[in-house]
Chains A and B, each alone.
Chain A
């Protein structure tokens, strides 16, 4: 105590000590009151100044707002039959905020729902990315048993939210795959673009392809909302209010669902496309590309291996051949070429002698037969190349191409939901633009029989048939969209010659007599086509050998002959010939339109030979593929 302090010199008495005590006790008491006042101020600050903020936070604790994904609108056929509808689907989600014991809960779920490692990884990943009350999907489409198993254990599974929702359902499965497309959960980019919280609500799906995508705005509907009071553990105490969702609107298609399914089944194991058009108004009654995928699988989130299986198939089930498959149309263009010739003054009665081919300079263009001296209808009936080489050489293809375009070839249609590849109707200007070369006479000869540069998709061929049959510029449509469908600028008698030639193809001594309709009073007219996949020079004759080098079989047709109502095109890839592969399919399709029982009987006979219905065959093929190729999984299933 060396400090110089005046107090230190004072004697410390009991009296001094008492005074010090009183002073210091008052000081302590004052200090305590100051702290008390500070606490009271603090409380007032929290509960008065910050009141709004905390009321909000308390409400957001108490009230849990969940979006209810809207039920998607149906897609129905011309008679109101569902092509795409919704079914009840049970699902299990996690609310990340409420998940207090993650490892335990996930472990339990894994056992209860038999989740595999992939699924667990995905859940962990989603949980990391998710925040707050944004639910993370654990499993969709769980069975009633699994659902109840989770429901029973709910008190131990904090953060788990079982939900009853809807899933997209396609009653006819693969038959409508390419027509309707499919739905799927929105991906990250789609969410970024839409900035809509609905997009990250489990169970919400958007159209990803085909009509589902095209009509997304119509089909999607308005989401509902559910406000519930919940405890910290996520237990729902009571419903506060619920705003129901508004189901999306129904899309009515021109498709005939029964015909669509029949055509898909009748395609059998072949790869190809078939389109049926109503000759009165351009309604597409069936729009089939086979083989196809099951849109139900895609909409439920397709597995990597199933996707790999579809990609590995050389019949290309993922490509819509009806609008994206381009084929040399071959002889199916001959009626069109005949009309073009007549419009340019060629007399249909004028005859040309087929000597088994046509000589152009030093080259000899072969015909498939030696048809003798024939007129125009006979040339169509016999599909005589020589006759049309002669026409093509005489007129030049620049005279024929405009007629081809008037009949709908080389044109991209305003058609709902399909990306089209519209092919080529070549002429000299096109060749100059594209290849910087002069058009040659041999180009005309190749083009006039539908080879060379000419490419068309099956839909265009069906439109061509419908236009020849009706005499009007029909536009194909899948919904009730108004087109003018003006009469074509061709003389009626010229069209009649082409129709007569097509009639004789089937009902005369033509190339497709075996495909005559087995009906009384209704006859079909058509034109076969066989498109070379590779030139004769490269070996093989396209009538056998390796599947992918075989010729394509094509057939365009309409019925009834005297008053056409329906037109169709059938393309069978590598079918080795129009009369052999495509025309019999068209025959059964038209039979179905007029006599279902007869057509079904024929189909059942075929299916017995092919090994069952589409679904049965697909399931068996997939199982076989999985057993064989599971060692080499191909990555990259779409999400």
Chain B
């Protein structure tokens, strides 16, 4: 047997294969959505993936200690950027989300999805175990989640605000905070729903209402959901075949290469393609959950669980949206949808989880 050099062994080949498979499938769909063309989407997305994959692998080599040390600083930095977006950012698609850095458009709210997990994980790592059920365990976390969530809602960007809250809440949950806190928060949230609803913007309220009854306005605001369901439903079990999707090719499906790419895929690949993709995501999430379970440090545990939730939140909300189970909130499908910001976030998450995995191999586990 030829001995495999340790440097090669250390490269997570299985993970790379999984990410490449998901993204590669996405590239096929983008190729089809462009009418059988590598441009304008597939080629750029492929290039971007190569860069971000390299970046993720590089992040994976960074010692976990580094993330722990810089988590608060990073959180503060991103929070400052969010304020800067409010003051200086430019408006696109009806909301103010982007900062023009000259060479790229930065969406700080995407970075916040990662930063909040790191900061909260740091906070609960430092918290003495005895304080887990005390007030001290709660209010700093709520403030840390509340500030960026509020800033993102101002943009306005309901989807990202929810993602930040969800990731933060999961970190709090696995940190061991009393269950009844979450129970009562859910009840209080349900009670406050009408009030929150009234605070939403008109177009957001409309989306929620349309979601509740999409057929009420099939040509207006319900158009997205109706057309998406038609695309998925008409695909059947095995789909209409590669390059044969009429909904996407004839422009009936809006945003067929970004938020609604799953519908584009399902139309041509059918239920089989959909289940295959979901299985791919399942493998990815299983990997990161296992990393969390096997993490060597508490910080690693909390971060891996939180980031798993971040990735899951993208997938779940996007799929619910395209299948008519959630309002249209504008959340892309990780690795699949065309776009840089979400891929950057996902690959950063993957990189950090990879760092945690590498960390767990370096020493003795502190917890059982």
Q: Which residues of A contact B (CB under 8 A)?
A: 1, 3, 8, 11-22, 24-26, 28-29, 32-33, 35-36, 39-40, 42-44, 46-48, 50-51, 53-55, 57-59, 61-62, 97, 229-233, 237
Judge whether B270 is part of the interface by a CB distance below 8 angstroms: yes
A237 to B293, CA, bound (A): 54
Q: With A32-B285, A46-B232, A55-B234 in contact, do A232 and B173 touch (Cβ < 8 Å)?
A: no
* Set A28, A46, A50, A58: member contacting B247, Cβ < 8 A: A58
Minimum CB–CB distance for B253 against chain A, Å: 8
- Supposing A29-B289, A47-B271 touch, asked if A61 and B246 sit within 8 A by C-beta, the answer is yes
Q: Mark B243-278, 1 if CB is under 8 A from A, else 0.
A: 000110011100000000000001100110011001
Name the distance in Å between B125's Cβ and chain A's nearest Cβ: 10
Contact: A57 with B173, CB < 8 Å? no
Mark contacts of B58-93 with chain A using CB atoms, 8 A cut-off: 1 yes-contact digit, 0 otherwise.
Answer: 000000000000000000000000000000000000
Pair A43/B293 contact, Cβ less than 8 Å: no
Contact of A47 among B175, B266, B282 (CB under 8 A): B266
With contacts A32-B285, A46-B323 taken as known, whether A54 is within 8 angstroms of B129 at the C-beta atoms is: no
Known contacts A8-B133, A28-B173, A29-B289; is-contact A21 B234 (Cβ 8 Å): no
Residue from B132, B298, B305, B312 within 8 A of A25 (CB atoms): B305
Contact, CB under 8 Å: A58 / B230: yes
A43 lies within 8 A of B266 (CB): yes
The CA-CA distance from A143 to B174 in the complex, in Å, is 75
Residue of A nearest to B272 (CB): A47
- Chain A residues lying within 8 Å of B286, measured Cβ to Cβ, are 29
Q: Mask for B301-312, Cβ within 8 A of A = 1, else 0?
A: 110010011001
Can you name 22 A-B pairs with beta carbons within 8 Å?
A1-B133, A3-B180, A11-B130, A12-B129, A12-B176, A14-B129, A17-B132, A21-B175, A21-B176, A21-B298, A24-B174, A25-B292, A28-B308, A32-B316, A39-B325, A46-B232, A58-B234, A58-B247, A61-B247, A62-B252, A230-B250, A232-B250
With both beta carbons as reference points, the residue of chain A lying nearest to B134 in the complex is identified as: A1
Do residues A55 and B246 form an inter-chain contact, with CB atoms below 8 A? no
Chain B residue with minimal CB distance to A132?
B219
In the assembled complex, how far is the CB of residue A494 from the closest CB belonging to chain B, in whole angstroms?
Answer: 80
What residues on B are CB-neighbors of A24 within 8 Å?
A: 173-174, 176
Nearest CB to that of A62 among chain B residues? Answer: B246
Cβ of A15: which chain B residues have Cβ within 8 Å of it?
367-368
Contact in complex: A40, B278 (CB < 8 Å): yes
A55-B234, A232-B252 in contact; A42/B323 too (CB < 8 A)? yes
How many residues on chain B are close to A (CB under 8 Å)? 55
Q: With A and B bound together, what is the CA distance between A237 and B251 in angstroms? A: 12
**B319 pairs with A57, CB closer than 8 A:** no
Q: Which single member of A12, A18, A61, A237 contacts B368 (CB below 8 Å)?
A: A18
Our pick among A39, A51, A237 for the contact of B323 (Cβ within 8 Å) is A39
A19 to B298, CA, bound (A): 12
The 4 A-B residue pairs with the shortest CB-CB distance, nearest first, are: A54-B233, A58-B234, A18-B367, A232-B251
Judged by a CB distance under 8 angstroms, whether B229 is at the interface is yes
Residues on A with C-beta less than 8 A from B173 are 24, 28
Most buried by B among A21, A59, A61: A21
Whether, in the assembled complex, B162 has its beta carbon less than 8 Å from a beta carbon of chain A, the answer is: no
Asked whether A12 lies within 8 Å of B230 as measured between CB atoms, the reply is no
Give which listed residue, B170, B251, B271, B320, contacts A28 with CB less than 8 A.
Answer: B170
- Determine how close the nearest CB of chain B comes to the CB of A222; give it in whole angstroms: 30
CA separation between A17 and B297, bound complex, in Å? 12
Determine whether the beta carbon of A53 is less than 8 Å from that of B233.
Answer: yes
Instruction: Verify B293–A25 contact, CB threshold 8 A.
Output: yes
| Residues from chain A with Cβ under 8 Å of B229 in the complex | 46, 54
Contact: B367 with A54, CB < 8 Å? no
The CA-CA distance from A481 to B132 in the complex, in Å, is 106
Per a CB cutoff under 8 Å, which of B275, B302, B320 touches A40?
A: B275
Contact A62 B250 (CB under 8 A): yes
CA distance A512 to B72 in the complex (A): 122
Report B158-187 CB contacts with A as 1/0, cut-off 8 Å.
000000000000100111100010000000
| B236 close to A (CB within 8 Å) | yes
B22: chain A residues within 8 A (beta carbon): none
Q: Is B237 an interface residue (CB 8 A)?
A: yes
Collect the chain A residues with CB atoms within 8 Å of residue B267's CB. Answer: 58
The answer to whether the Cβ of B117 comes within 8 Å of any Cβ in the partner chain is no
| B347 adjacent to chain A (CB < 8 Å) | no
Known: A43-B323, A47-B237, A47-B274. A231 touches B133 (CB 8 A): no
CA A16 to CA B298, docked complex, whole Å: 12
CB–CB A58/B246 < 8 A:
yes
For residue A237, which residues in chain B have a CB less than 8 angstroms away from its CB?
A: 250
Residues of B within 8 A of A47 (CB): 232-233, 235-237, 266, 270-271, 274
A51 and B325 contacting across the interface, CB-CB below 8 Å: no
A233 and B250 CA atoms in complex are apart in Å by 8
Most buried by A among B175, B230, B237, B367: B230
Q: Which of B176, B319, B325 has a CB less than 8 Å from the CB of A17?
A: B176
Q: Is B354 an interface residue (CB 8 A)?
A: no
In chain B between 306 and 365, which residues have their CB closer than 8 angstroms to a CB of chain A?
A: 308-309, 312, 316, 319-320, 323, 325
A16–B130 Cα gap in the complex (Å)?
A: 11
B231 within 8 A of A: yes
Q: How far, in angstroms, from A3 to B181 measured CA to CA in the complex?
A: 12
Q: Are A48 and B246 in contact (CB under 8 A)?
A: no
A39 adjacent to B129 (CB under 8 Å): no
Given A24-B173, A39-B278, A54-B229; A48-B250 close (CB under 8 Å):
no
Given contacts A12-B129, A12-B130, A17-B175, 4 further A-B contacts (CB under 8 A): A36-B281, A54-B233, A61-B252, A62-B247
Shortest distance between the CB of B366 and any CB in chain A (Å): 8
The smallest beta-carbon distance between B225 and chain A, in angstroms, is 12
Q: How far is the CB of B358 from chain A (nearest CB, A)?
A: 20
A473→B354 CA distance, assembly (Å)? 110
Q: Give per-residue flags for B117-140: 1 if the beta carbon is below 8 A from chain A beta carbons, else 0.
A: 000000000000110111000000
**Residue from the list A17, A29, A35, A54 in contact with B316, Cβ < 8 A:** A35
Q: Which residue of B lies closest to A8 (CB)?
A: B133
**Distance, CA A24 to CA B234, complexed state (A):** 39
Is A54 in contact with B252, judged by CB distance below 8 angstroms?
no
Which chain A residue has the least Cβ–Cβ distance from B226?
Answer: A57
Residue pair A39, B236 in contact (C-beta under 8 Å): no
- B residues near A11, Cβ cutoff 8 Å: 130
Cα–Cα distance between A68 and B187 once the two chains are bound (Å): 61
The answer on a CB contact under 8 Å between A20 and B271 is no
Task: List the B side residues contacting A51 at CB < 8 Å.
Answer: 233-234, 236-237
**Contact pick for A43, options B227, B232, B285, CB 8 Å:** B232
Q: Which residues of B contact A97 (CB under 8 A)?
A: 219
Q: Which of B134, B233, B266, B271 interacts with A55 by CB under 8 Å? A: B233
Q: Of residues B176, B233, B251, which shows the largest number of chain A Cβ atoms within 10 Å of its Cβ?
A: B233
A133 to chain B, nearest CB (A): 12
Please name all residues of chain A whose beta carbon is closer than 8 Å to the beta carbon of B235 when the two chains form the complex. Answer: 47
